[in-house]
Amino acid sequence: MSYKLTRAQTVKEIVKCGKEPAYFINTYARISHPLKGLIPFKTYPYQTDMLEDFNDYRFNVILKARQLGISTITAAYIVWLMLFYRDKNVLVIATKFQTAANLVKKVKNIMQNVPPWLRIAEIKIDNRTSFVLTNGSEVKAASTSGDAGRSEALSLLVIDEAAHVDGLEELWTGLYPTLSTGGRCIALSTPNGVGNWFHKTYVEAEQNQNDFHPINLPWDVHPERDQEWFEKETRNMSKRQIAQELQCSFNASGETVIHPDDLERLVNGSVEPTYRTGFDRNLWIWQNYMPGATYLLVADVARGDASDFSVFHIIKVDTMEVVAEYQGKPNLEQFATLLDNTGREYGNCMLVVENNSLGISILEKLADKEYPNLYHSIKGTHEYIDQIQAESINNSVPGFTTSSKTRPLIVAKLEEFIRNKLINIYSSRVINEFKTFIWHNNRAQAMRSYHDDLVMALAIGCWVRDTAMEVNKKEFEYQMAMIDGFKVEKGKFQSTIPGMFGHKVGGMSDETRKSKKQYEEFVWLLKG
C-alpha cells in the first residue's frame, strides 16, 4: 500500500510498472468477478506471454477459444498503455457496438480501481462508451459500420470478434493507414469458418506472409481445464459449436452448406490429378474415357467479369466420380471448342451448359459445331427433354436455367449426394470452394470475394444425373420394350420392363447397355 512506500520507493514502483505491463497487472490491477466481486488480476502463463507479444509485435492476430479471459487481459493492457504513456489514441471496434462498448467498460473499471498513488493520470472526460485521461490518452468504442476511426491517427486498434465482422476487408483497407505512424493492432476472435478477413489474416500470419504475429489459444491452454472439463462442457454442444467455441478449428466452424464432417472427409479424399492438360493446362484429368461407360459433362460459363471463371466437370455416371475438371478464363470460342472436344472425347456424353448470361452464346457455338447430345428443357420449367424431341417442338430451350426456383433444388441435391457418399470428388479446387460456400440470408452462396462456379456446376450435375438421366434411361428401356414387341421371335409383347417401377442407383444397367446396338437397328420404327 502507498503508506508503506517512501517517495523514492513510490517513484521506483511507478517506473517499474511503466516498463513491465505484466508486473503492473499482476500487482495492482483488480477485476470484477461475477461471484467474488472485486479481486486481484493474476495472469495465467498464456496471458503473460500475450502481454509480451503485445509489446514485441505491432500487429497480433489471436485465434482463441471462449472463456479464456482474452478480452480482460486486452483491457488491462489498454489501461497500462493509456496510464503510462501520453496521448495514446485507442479504438475498439466489433460487429456489434455493445461488444466494443463492453470492452471499453472493462478498461474503465480496471482504471478506476488502480491504487490512487499509481493513478498518474485521471479520467477527465467520461462518456458511456469512451473516456479521456488528463495525459491526453483516450479510448472509445465503435461499431464496424460507418467511418469509425478513419480520419484519426490510432495508437492501438482492437478488433473484437473479428471473424464475425462482415466486410472487414474493406474496413481494414480504410483503417490501416491510421496505423501508419507506428500504431498497433490486436485482432481477436473465435473462428467462424474460412475465407473471411480473420481467417485469411491468421493463415497468412502463420506462413509469414503478412505483418501479423499469430497467437493460437485453444481450450486446453488454460491450466485448470482437463479432459474431464472438456467432456462435461461439450456434452450438449454440436460438433460445429465445439470447433468454434473451444477447438479453434476454422474448417469445422462456420455455417458452411456442406456439414463439417463431410467437408473433412472430402479434404482427406482429395487427390492430385493424373495430369494437367488443355491449352492453358487448367484441365485436370484423373481418369480417361473408358469404352462402355456413361459420362456427363456440366459447364458454367463466366459472366464476362475478369474475376470470374468458366468451369466444367466430367462425371462418370455409374460410379459418380468426377474424373475431369476445368477452371479457367478462356474466351467464348476457346471454351466452346474445349467443351466440344472434351464431350466427344468422353463418348459424345450429355453436355449440360448453364444458359444464364453468356451460356447462350456457348450453346449457339456448340450447335454450330453440331454437338450431338446437348441438354434441353421445356421453356419456363426445369423439365428435361432430349435433343431429338427438342428439335421438333417450339417450347424447348437448350441448357439448364439456374433461377430462384431451381437453385435451392440443385444445391439440396448436391448436399444429399455428398452427405450420402454418392459422389466421389478428388479436386482441391472444388473442395476449397466448399469451404467458403455458406448460408447467408437463407441462401447458399460463396462468401464475399470468393467463387462458387465449380460448386454450382457440380450441383447441376447431381440434379441432372438424378432426374434427366434417369428419364433418359427409362425412356430408352420403354422404347426397347416396344421394339421387342415388333420382333417376330418374341412371340408376345412384353409390357413390363426393368426400371419401370424405380431405378437402380449407379446408372444404366449392363443389360440395357448391351441392347444399344439392337436399339439403333430398330429405332426407325419409333420415329415413324
For the ranges 166-170, 308-312, 422-426, 476-480, the lowest mean pLDDT is seen at 476-480
- E-strand stretches of 222-335: 275-277, 283-285, 295-300, 310-316, 321-328
Give the other-Cβ count within 10 Å of 195's Cβ: 22
Q: How confident is the model at residue 380 (pLDDT cuts 50, 70, 90)?
A: low
**CB-CB contact of 256 with 414 (8 Å):** no
Distance set, CA 442 to CA 370, 445, 449, 450 (Å): 41, 9, 19, 18
**CB-CB contact of 337 with 361 (8 Å):** no
283: Cβ contacts below 8 Å, ≥ 6 apart: 276, 277, 324, 325, 326, 328, 338, 342
- Report the alpha-carbon distance of residue 118 to residue 13 in Å, rounded: 9
For the chain, how are helix, strand and coil distributed in percent, rounded to 5?
45, 20, 40
In this predicted structure, the answer to whether residue 516 has a pLDDT above a threshold of 70 is no
DSSP 8-state secondary structure symbol assigned to residue 447: P
**CB-CB contact of 245 with 239 (8 Å):** no
- Using DSSP, state whether 215 is helix, strand or coil: strand
Distance set, CA 269 to CA 272, 431, 454, 458 (Å): 10, 10, 17, 17
- Report the alpha-carbon distance of residue 123 to residue 108 in Å, rounded: 9
- Report the alpha-carbon distance of residue 232 to residue 199 in Å, rounded: 29
Hey, what's the torsion of the CAs at 33, 36, 42, 46, to 10 degrees?
-50
Per-residue model confidence (pLDDT) at position 261: 83
In this predicted structure, the answer to whether residue 395 has a pLDDT above a threshold of 90 is no
Average pLDDT in the 207-230 region? Answer: 94
Find, among 286, 512, 267, 316, the residue nearest to 422 by Cα. Answer: 316
Distance set, CA 330 to CA 326, 362, 454, 517 (Å): 11, 12, 15, 38
Per-residue model confidence (pLDDT) at position 350: 94
Per-residue model confidence (pLDDT) at position 304: 72
Amino acid at position 462, single letter? C
In this predicted structure, the answer to whether residue 478 has a pLDDT above a threshold of 70 is no
Amino acid at position 207, single letter? Q
In this predicted structure, the answer to whether residue 431 has a pLDDT above a threshold of 80 is yes
**CB-CB contact of 129 with 141 (8 Å):** yes
Mean pLDDT of the chain: 85
Q: How far is CA 319 from the centre of its chain?
A: 28
Share of the chain above pLDDT 90, in %: 61
For 66-79, b/e burial (b = at least 16 CB within 10 A) is: eebbbbbbbbbbbb
Give the other-Cβ count within 10 Å of 128's Cβ: 10
For the ranges 247-251, 371-375, 419-423, the lowest mean pLDDT is seen at 247-251
Helix boundaries (H) for 326-373: 332-345, 359-368
Find, among 199, 232, 230, 228, the residue nearest to 216 by Cα. Answer: 199
Query: Could you tell me how many residues make up the chain?
Result: 528
DSSP 8-state secondary structure symbol assigned to residue 4: G
| Residue 170 CA neighbour count, 13 Å, CB half | 9
- Report the alpha-carbon distance of residue 260 to residue 472 in Å, rounded: 35
Per-residue model confidence (pLDDT) at position 493: 41
Q: How confident is the model at residue 149 (pLDDT cuts 50, 70, 90)?
A: low
List of domains in the chain: 2-247 (3.40.50.300), 260-466 (3.30.420.240), 470-527 (no CATH)
For the ranges 297-311, 349-363, 495-509, the lowest mean pLDDT is seen at 495-509
Per-residue model confidence (pLDDT) at position 523: 43
Task: State the cell numbers at 113.
Answer: 480501481
Amino acid at position 365, single letter? K
Per-residue model confidence (pLDDT) at position 507: 44
Residue-wise pLDDT for 83-111, tens only, equals: 999 999 999 999 889 999 999 999 999 99
Average pLDDT in the 362-367 region? Answer: 95
Distance set, CA 158 to CA 75, 120, 195, 238, 449 (Å): 10, 24, 21, 30, 24
Per-residue model confidence (pLDDT) at position 412: 93
Give the other-Cβ count within 10 Å of 480's Cβ: 21
In this predicted structure, the answer to whether residue 373 has a pLDDT above a threshold of 90 is yes
The C-alpha R_g of the chain, in whole angstroms, comes to 32
Q: Which residues pair with 91 in a beta bridge?
A: 140, 157
For 12-47, b/e burial (b = at least 16 CB within 10 A) is: ebbeebeebbbbbbbbbbbbeeeeeeeeebebeebb
Confidence (pTM): 0.66
**CB-CB contact of 2 with 10 (8 Å):** yes
**Parallel, antiparallel, or unpaired for β 59-64 and 184-189?**
parallel
